[in-house]
Amino acid sequence: MQQQPKNNEYAEFYANYVSLVEETDVVSALQNQPDELKNLLAALPEEKANFRYAEGKWSVKELLGHIIDGERVFSYRALRISRGDKTPLASFEENSYVADSNFSGSDFTDLIEEFSTLRRANVLLFKNLTEEMWVRSGTASEATVSVRALAYIMVGHVRHHQNILRERYLI
């Protein structure tokens, strides 16, 4: 079990994500999220997966694709930092990533499965970290971040977007 990261372990930008995680067992929270997301989206038919709640906003598929991109980026950072790599890691521009993707042309159920598969691999990564690895810090997006903070950010990022799905898409 990991204590919630301290404020100096992540950029202020991520404070909202971290605040959405109340659990002390962040690995269990990571492990439970694929089923939570599947259950949330279970009632959404494939033909509504391209729905946008407003012009210029992401479709449900694009939002799910963004969650997948975030999962890849955050886990890559956690891997590098946990291994003691001190190379500063670049940020990613989420809107450009979505614009340059083919999420709208992807099968909705495949996107859900892709997230679940990625998350399963990431749970295994986090389960096998030592205490020392959990507290290692590095630089990503020109800010200090710890491996522990990245795990909390990953859970909070998905929760943030689940809230948006509930509030703006699944009404």
Chain segment 4-41, per-residue pLDDT in tens: 999 999 999 999 999 999 998 999 999 999 999 999 99
In a domain, 146, yes or no: yes
In a domain, 92, yes or no: yes
The whole model's pTM is what? Answer: 0.97
In a domain, 1, yes or no: no
Percentage of the chain beyond pLDDT 90 is: 94
Evaluate if residue 171 carries a pLDDT over 90: no
Q: What mean pLDDT is reported for the chain?
A: 96
Instruction: Give the domain range for residue 99.
Output: 7-169
| 116 vs 171, higher pLDDT | 116
**C-beta separation of 57 from 167 below 8 A:** no
The CATH number of whichever domain residue 69 belongs to comes to 1.20.120.450
Task: Pull the structure tokens for residue 156.
Answer: 């909070």
**pLDDT mean over 89-116:** 96
**CB-based contacts of 54, cutoff 8 Å, min separation 6:** none
In a domain, 2, yes or no: no
Evaluate if residue 1 carries a pLDDT over 80: no
In a domain, 47, yes or no: yes
**Per-residue confidence (pLDDT) for residue 40, from 0 to 100:** 96
In a domain, 132, yes or no: yes
**Per-residue confidence (pLDDT) for residue 37, from 0 to 100:** 97
Evaluate if residue 142 carries a pLDDT over 70: yes
Q: How far apart are CA 29 and CA 62, in angstroms?
A: 24
In a domain, 16, yes or no: yes
**Per-residue confidence (pLDDT) for residue 61, from 0 to 100:** 97
**Per-residue confidence (pLDDT) for residue 43, from 0 to 100:** 81
The band of 170, judged by pLDDT with boundaries at 50, 70 and 90, is confident
In a domain, 78, yes or no: yes
Number of structural domains in the chain:
1
Q: Given the DSSP bridges, would you call strands 137-140 and 143-146 parallel, antiparallel or unpaired? A: antiparallel
